[in-house]
Structure formats: structure tokens, C-alpha cells
Structure 1
């Protein structure tokens, strides 16, 4: 498989990371640089790691997780999305104490799992096509990290324009991504 194809796959996989980072980057009162670096590291590692895991598991693992992967992603994204909509509707203004609302590692890890399930499937596909995994997983992880940073930084700008409405929009986007995942698997 050529590098351009892998880059296009990486961009496709990174879109969920971008949407999540955009939504979380719009939250006022959070250290955006720290958030961007955290998301880049965790999302990049998860996208690369899930690609490798899918490749390693091959056809054995697909029979176990495939019937449920879309529901897992939907539930995680929907719960976090509903929480974000709720927080956005509170209409509180950012204060110094909002820094305490920096997303916890558990929340970020759940988002990383939810957004990287497609990478698991891509890894399975790579295994079936007998593709070496080192370079593709590295490219996929790097692209996801870049998109996570871009999402947080763009969310910062949108938050200045839209305020707490951006968090509501971000929550709706996460719920929409979850619904899209379920619908794609049901069709």
C-alpha cells in the first residue's frame, strides 16, 4: 500500500479526533496548550495502537468485537456528548475555578477508545491484506495527533466567538458521530 493511501486513511480516522478536540477546545477556562498536547499524545497513541492491535488480532478478534464495537463507541460518545450539552446549557461564565474542569484522564481515555475503534477495523483490514503495520500505524498516529492539536486550537477561536454555544455544538457533534457509527454498522 502506498504512502498517499495510508495518509488518506489516516486523515479519515483523524476526523473524529478533530471533532472531539474541537469541542473540548471550546471549553472556557482550560489551559489550551496542555489540552492540545494531552489530546495529541493520547489520541495519537490510541489511533496507532488500535491499528496495531487490530492488525495483531487479525480475524480471531473481529468475531468477538465486531458485533458490539459500534454500540460501545455510540454509548461512550453519547454519554460524553450529553454531558457537554448539559454543561453548555448551564450558561455559566468562565472563572478561575473552571480550570478545575480540565478533562480527567479517564474521560480522555474513553474518548480515545471511542474515536479509535475504526482504527482497530483498519488494522484488521491491514492484516487481511498482509500489510506490514509499522509505518502505517506511525503515520495514522501522527496525523491524529496533528488533527487533535488543530481541533483544540480552532476550538479556542470558536469559543471566543460563540461562547458556551460551542460546547453545546461539540456535544451534539459527539452524539452525531455516535449515531453515524451505529447507522454505518447497521446498514
Structure 2
């Protein structure tokens, strides 16, 4: 058994950090909704699992399709973020009891899928590079889970400080992130 070179390990750590930043950014906006701690735990674990599954699927499919799918995936991610953000803003302004897309059920999977799309593209390239893929996708899952938990808890605390209009701020953040992804 050979040890992993320090440079390769640092590269994997940096990739895990970078991939987790999407989950952190979107988690801040989602966390501004009134979310219980049990739900925060479930959301973080779901995002972590998706950050393991998506690169694994990418590794299995291979790098020859990464160029074709990356553009479509980024457009889809951007539009989903904008849609979630607009829905949060409308929900807050109309004070409805039910949300169109809350981080429960299908909404939770859409959220986890959206923030893990970039890890799919990374998985495509990992499969061809020969890098320590098991370590990489494990770290992707761990980092994204912890970053999501942290963001949701920060957003939850901010929600209590700003009141009901914190959801508008969260929606604006998500719309901004969606526009950033698109452009």
C-alpha cells in the first residue's frame, strides 16, 4: 500500500472545499426559513450523500461527455436557484402557509441535486485522472455536509435576528447565486 502524495491530498482537500461552497452559499438562504434542528441534520446529510453520489456517477460515465453536460447542468442549476429564490420572496410577501419548494420531500432532493451538480463534472474528470477517487468523494461528502450544516445554522440564527423578512433576503441571495451561475 502506497501513501498518497501531499500535493495530491491537498488538491483533493481544495476540491472538496470548493465544491462545498455552493452548498454553503445556498444553505445560508435556505437556513433563513424557520427550520428545525432535525431538518437541518437531514438536509446536511442529504446534501453530503448527493456530493458522494454525483461524482461517483460522473466517474462511471467517463469524461467524454463532460463538455456536453457541464453547460446544461450549469444552466439548470442557475434556473433552479433563481426559481427557489423567487418562490421564497413571493411566499414571504404573500404570507402563505405552504411553500412551493421547501427543503422537505422533493424540494430537499432538488436542493441537494442542484448544489451537487458541479461535483458531477468533477467526477467525470476524476475518473480519467487516476486520483484517489474513494478518498476524494468521501471528502466531498464530509465537507459538503459540514458546510451545509454550518450555513443552515447561521441562516437560522439570522432568521431569528431579522424576523420574517429574512426569507426575502434569503430569496434575493439565491436569485443572485442563480444569476452568478448563469452569467
TM-score clears 0.5: yes
Contact 2:8 2:131 in 1 (8 A): no
Partner residue, 1:141: 141
**Does residue 165 in structure 1 map to residue 169 in structure 2?**
no
Ranges in structure 2 where 5+ consecutive residues have no aligned partner: 1-6
**Does residue 176 in structure 1 map to residue 182 in structure 2?**
no
1:42-53 equivalence runs, <5 A: 42-53=46-57
Partner residue, 2:112: 112
Partner residue, 2:4: none
Partner residue, 2:27: 21
1:147-158 equivalence runs, <5 A: 147-158=147-158
TM (normalized to structure 2)? 0.86
TM (normalized to structure 1)? 0.84
**Per-residue deviation, 1:67:** 3.7
Partner residue, 1:82: 86
Partner residue, 1:122: 122
In structure 2, the CA distance between the partners of 1:67 and 1:154, relative to structure 1 (3 Å rule), is: closer
Report the secondary structure of 1:103's partner residue.
coil
In structure 2, the CA distance between the partners of 1:79 and 1:102, relative to structure 1 (3 Å rule), is: closer
**Per-residue deviation, 1:42:** 0.7
Contact 1:51 1:137 in 2 (8 A): yes
Q: Distance in 2 between matches of 1:26 and 1:175?
A: 14
Aligned CA-pair RMSD: 2.2
Report the secondary structure of 2:33's partner residue.
coil
Report the secondary structure of 1:68's partner residue.
helix
Q: Which stretch of structure 1 is more off in the superposition, 149-158 or 59-68?
A: 59-68
Contact 1:57 1:124 in 2 (8 A): yes
Contact 2:102 2:108 in 1 (8 A): no
